[in-house]
């Protein structure tokens, strides 16, 4: 899953740094959430306030947790980096691109993450241990990924690397297909102008 996602990110953003940081930070989010899960449900930290007794963790939890967190993490990654990449293509200024990208997407990412954290934390109120485990692990993963990884670590790494973020070897550049995350503005405008004329033509009598 991580390798395939990294390959797709190379094709989409024409960068080696973006796939590497995405893979590393996705694993970091999953590992951190699993660490919190082990500390609470296996080692008994904060077990009293949460009403949890220390014990083994169900074997299917890491599998489900990785799949769900990986999907959410990549969703945030593509959404955020797409805006940064668009600003970079327009201005060719890595700092300005980072500011524009975070400014246009940061609030959306954190607002969506806040809603999801609140929903998953509500599972902790259940009396079923598996539901508690699932809710706390997902809430922790979403919180860490959105507020720590995407809002702090990702911008820091891109700011330190600067223009090197968007470098791609020429040999690889020639061999990779070109895929745009969104249609160019001129094509979108042309399509919007064409639709009314087509509609009028269709309404005219034969």
**Structural domains in the chain?**
2-203 (1.20.1640.10)
As a whole number, the mean pLDDT across the chain is 80
- Characterise 178 by phi-psi region: left (phi > 0), alpha (psi -120 to 50), beta (else): beta
Question: Who contacts 177 (Cβ-Cβ below 8 Å, separation ≥6)?
Answer: 11
pTM, 2 dp: 0.74
Pair 2, 13: CB distance under 8 Å: no
The string of pLDDT tens digits covering residues 91-104 is 888 888 888 888 88
Hey, is 114 helix, strand or coil? Answer: helix
- Lowest mean pLDDT of 3-7, 82-86, 197-201, name the range: 197-201
Neighbours of 192 (CB within 10 A): 9
**What does the pLDDT average to over 77-88?**
88
The string of pLDDT tens digits covering residues 26-79 is 888 888 888 988 888 888 787 677 777 778 888 888 888 888 888 888 888 888
pLDDT for residue 189 is more than 70: no
């Amino acid at each position: 899953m991580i390798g395939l996602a990294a390959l797709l990110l190379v094709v989409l953003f024409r960068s080696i740094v973006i796939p590497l940081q995405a893979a590393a930070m996705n694993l970091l989010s999953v590992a951190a959430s699993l660490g919190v899960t082990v500390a609470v449900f296996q080692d008994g930290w904060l077990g009293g306030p949460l009403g949890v007794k220390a014990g083994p963790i169900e074997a299917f939890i890491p599998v489900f947790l990785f799949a769900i967190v990986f999907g959410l993490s990549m969703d945030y990654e593509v959404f955020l980096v797409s805006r940064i990449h668009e600003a970079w293509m327009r201005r060719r200024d890595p700092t300005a691109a980072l500011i524009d990208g975070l400014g246009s997407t940061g609030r959306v990412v954190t607002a969506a993450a806040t809603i999801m954290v609140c929903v998953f934390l509500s599972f902790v109120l259940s009396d079923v241990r598996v539901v508690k485990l699932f809710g706390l692990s997902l809430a922790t993963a979403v919180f860490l990924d959105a507020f720590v990884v995407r809002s702090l670590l990702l911008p820091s790494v891109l700011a330190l690397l600067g223009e090197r973020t968007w470098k791609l070897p020429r040999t690889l550049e020639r061999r990779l297909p070109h895929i745009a995350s969104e249609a160019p503005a001129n094509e979108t405008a042309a399509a919007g102008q064409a639709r009314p004329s087509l509609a009028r033509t269709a309404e005219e009598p034969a």
